[in-house]
Amino acid sequence: MSKESRIDEQIQHFYDNVPNVGDDLPLKEYLLKHEDSRMAWYLLGKEYESKGDKAKATYCFAQAGEIYEAFESKPAPQLPEHKTSKKSGWKKWTAALLIPLVLIGGATAVVWGLLPDSEDAAAIETTVPESPVVSPQTSASPKSAVGSKPAPLPAGVIPPDLIAGAPGPQDQGSGVLGELLTNKPSRQPRLLVAVPRLGKWNDWVKGGKPIATVTSDRESGLAGVQWFDPKWCDCKPEDGKAASKLVDGWKPLQEEKLALRSAMIRYKERTGKWPAAPEAMAGDYPANTMGGWTESMSAWFDELKALLTDKKDGKIPQTAGWPDRTGPDSGHGAPAGTLASMAEQAMEIIVDKSNHRLAVVSGDVILRNYEVGLGGNKTPEGKFVISEKVKDPNGSSTGAFGSRGMTLSDTRYGIHGTDEPKSMGKDESLGCVRMKKEDIEELYDLVPMGTPVTIAQGGLPDELRAPPERFRLPSTQNETNPHKVYDWLG
């Protein structure tokens, strides 16, 4: 039987067995173009399912076979017995359209979108699998963690394997979307999120609004897009609340991963070897490269250690890998697109003397931007590293240096708290970098010992950036140092 005859029989079978066919979607021409049409049947079934047409959806899902089973994590429905009918021909369709989209490199994807010339375009909606996180497996609740637990994903839901940032549809955004569509197919969906620009930086704190979910089929090479943002499509977008909730749970865990990976890289730079165990990095002072530890980090540590120590030359790889096979399900999904540098580069600190700002960056992503107090010409310019971290310097959390202090390159200059919070934005210190209590305590937990610090004129935006819920690491280690009197220049 020829391919066209086989598809004709499938279509006729659909008419014969699905009751009240009043809005059937004409897929024949599209199906003829592809060797494997199961993904198309699956997408068609999701369209009918969203409209409450269970009988039609069930038939399409049965035709989808293994594709349905992969995305839904359950057996595909069985096809009904063939029945003879006099029905024939295609009825005019208005519900949706499959359009081939030629992207970078000539690859072809399939995107649900509007039919511009349709007489009933208002009825057309964009819809690829209705959930941004339809899963072939069931999420396990994360293990008990020190401190607060990451929120587990609902049963049957799997997060994206990539979450890609994009500034807007008119510039770099279309290229990022093209990469997601033409990337190696995956059973996991991929999420495109808005990441606005903040000067020359990509804005991590303000980023994360869902734009679209991309799904792909490994066998047929087809990809589909579900839109959440009307600025990106001439369509009626889907509700993005579920995707927004996913991103809200994902972002803090990426910060934990970045802190851990940065700490391991800085540990290697300082000691010449990779840490053998978590205790080597989150120990009592002075072995407190990190200011705390979470249960999630234990799994990521083993995964990263395998990636990092598998280098025969023992050198620090230019890109150190990103832990994404272990840990809480809600943390899965490597940063991509304009967030890609987070998965490639360790954190650094930049201090801008011209506008009294201190930022934490990873490549071209700005994670935090704080207001600080400086000392004008007394604050040196140049490159330093955090050579020491201490809690409650000189035995006090309310003294001149506040509750946290970090020494710069074994000098008398430091980044620390202050008992003069009104000095923020001013040049009243004797050369050190002063920070508000909530800012220095977050910075202390976020950046590891060994983090590079660049102090210069210019380079940072004026807009402050810190999330409503600050980054904190649970700690049971002793990071005080009662044997030393700190005499930073204040």
Residue 332 lies in a domain: yes
- The conformational region for residue 41 under phi > 0 = left, psi -120 to 50 = alpha, else beta, is alpha
pLDDT of residue 49: 76
Q: Does residue 348 have a pLDDT over 50?
A: yes
182 and 64 within one domain: no
Residue 391 lies in a domain: no
313 and 254 within one domain: yes
210 and 194 within one domain: yes
Question: pLDDT category, 321, cuts 50, 70, 90?
Answer: confident
Six token digits for residue 425: 């934005």
**Which whole number is the average pLDDT over 417-428?**
96
Question: pLDDT category, 456, cuts 50, 70, 90?
Answer: very high
pLDDT of residue 485: 95
CB of 130 within 8 A of CB of 52?
no
pLDDT of residue 136: 29
Residue 102 lies in a domain: yes
Domain boundary among 326, 342, 358: 342
Range of the domain at 224: 94-128+159-239
Query: For residue 465, how many other CB atoms are within 10 A of its CB?
Result: 19
In the three-class reduction of DSSP (H, G, I as helix; E, B as strand; rest coil), residue 121 is classed as: helix
223 and 323 within one domain: no
pLDDT of residue 131: 34
313 and 195 within one domain: no
Residue 390 lies in a domain: no
- Average of per-residue pLDDT values in the chain: 79
CB of 223 within 8 A of CB of 111?
yes
Question: pLDDT category, 11, cuts 50, 70, 90?
Answer: low
Residues 6+ apart with CB under 8 A from 367: 204, 205, 255, 258, 347, 359, 360, 361, 446, 465
14 and 86 within one domain: yes
Query: If you write DSSP's letter for every residue of 153-190 in order, what string do you get?
Result: PPTTB---SEEEEES-TTTHHHHHHHHHHHSPP-SS-E
Domain boundary among 91, 113, 145: 91
Q: Does residue 15 have a pLDDT over 90?
A: no
Identity of the amino acid at 374: L
Residues 6+ apart with CB under 8 A from 119: 94
Exposure string over 307-335, b if 16+ CB within 10 A, otherwise e: bbeeeeeeeeeeebbbbbeebbbbbbbbb
Which is more confidently placed, 437 or 78? 437
Q: Does residue 225 have a pLDDT over 90?
A: no
pLDDT of residue 16: 63
Question: pLDDT category, 220, cuts 50, 70, 90?
Answer: low
**Which whole number is the average pLDDT over 255-267?**
96
Give the global pTM: 0.72
51 and 19 within one domain: yes
Residue 282 lies in a domain: no
Portion of the chain with pLDDT greater than 90, in percent: 51
Catalytic residue among 332, 356, 432, 483: 432
CA distance 129 to 287: 49
Q: Does residue 309 have a pLDDT over 80?
A: no
Q: Does residue 155 have a pLDDT over 60?
A: no
Q: How many distinct structural domains can be found in the chain?
A: 3
Residue tagged 């980023």 (tokens): 207
120 and 49 within one domain: no
Which is more confidently placed, 483 or 58? 483
Residue 223 lies in a domain: yes
311 and 221 within one domain: no
- In degrees, rounded to 5, the angle at the alpha carbon of residue 86 between the alpha carbons of residues 81 and 89 is 100
CB of 381 within 8 A of CB of 457?
yes
Q: How far is CA 336 from CA 206, 297, 341, 385, 435, in A?
A: 16, 21, 8, 28, 32
Residues 6+ apart with CB under 8 A from 150: 142, 249, 252, 253, 296, 328, 330, 331
Residue 21 lies in a domain: yes
Which is more confidently placed, 367 or 328? 367
pLDDT of residue 80: 53
Q: How far is CA 167 from CA 116, 175, 245, in A?
A: 26, 11, 20
CB of 294 within 8 A of CB of 474?
yes
Question: pLDDT category, 122, cuts 50, 70, 90?
Answer: very low
Determine whether 60 is an active site residue. Answer: no
Q: Is the peptide bond before 286 cis (omega within 30 degrees of 0)?
A: yes
In the three-class reduction of DSSP (H, G, I as helix; E, B as strand; rest coil), residue 342 is classed as: helix
Q: Does residue 105 have a pLDDT over 90?
A: no
Q: How many residues does the chain have?
A: 490
Residue range 459-471, pLDDT digits in tens: 999 999 999 999 9
pLDDT of residue 180: 85
40 and 55 within one domain: yes
* Nearest to 470, CA basis, from 452, 444, 433: 444
199 and 331 within one domain: no
CB of 203 within 8 A of CB of 197?
yes
Alpha helices (runs of H) in 22-94, residue ranges in sequence order: 28-32, 38-50, 54-64, 66-72
Q: Does residue 376 have a pLDDT over 90?
A: yes
Six token digits for residue 299: 């799994």
Question: Residue 72: CA atoms inside 13 Å, Cβ hemisphere, count?
Answer: 21
Query: Which of 10-19, 106-115, 362-371 is least confident?
Result: 106-115
Query: Which of 9-18, 51-60, 480-489 is least confident?
Result: 9-18
**Which whole number is the average pLDDT over 431-451?**
98
Q: How far is CA 240 from CA 124, 137, 195, 237, 278, in A?
A: 18, 22, 16, 8, 38
Residue range 131-153, pLDDT digits in tens: 333 332 322 222 333 455 677 76
* Nearest to 387, CA basis, from 367, 365, 410: 410
CA distance 191 to 196: 16
Q: How far is CA 393 from CA 143, 388, 435, 436, in A?
A: 34, 11, 14, 15
Identity of the amino acid at 137: Q
pLDDT of residue 360: 98
Catalytic residue among 13, 34, 332, 416: 416
Q: Does residue 120 have a pLDDT over 50?
A: no
pLDDT of residue 71: 67
In the three-class reduction of DSSP (H, G, I as helix; E, B as strand; rest coil), residue 78 is classed as: coil
Domain boundary among 66, 91, 116: 91
Query: For residue 78, how many other CB atoms are within 10 A of its CB?
Result: 8
Q: Does residue 85 have a pLDDT over 80?
A: no
Residue 371 lies in a domain: no
215 and 116 within one domain: yes
Determine whether 432 is an active site residue. Answer: yes
Query: Which of 54-58, 251-255, 276-280, 440-444 is least confident?
Result: 54-58
Q: Does residue 386 have a pLDDT over 90?
A: yes
Query: If you write DSSP's letter for every residue of 209-232 in order, what string do you get?
Result: EEEEEEEE-TTT--EEEEE--GGG
Which is more confidently placed, 318 or 188? 188
pLDDT of residue 236: 85
pLDDT of residue 177: 86
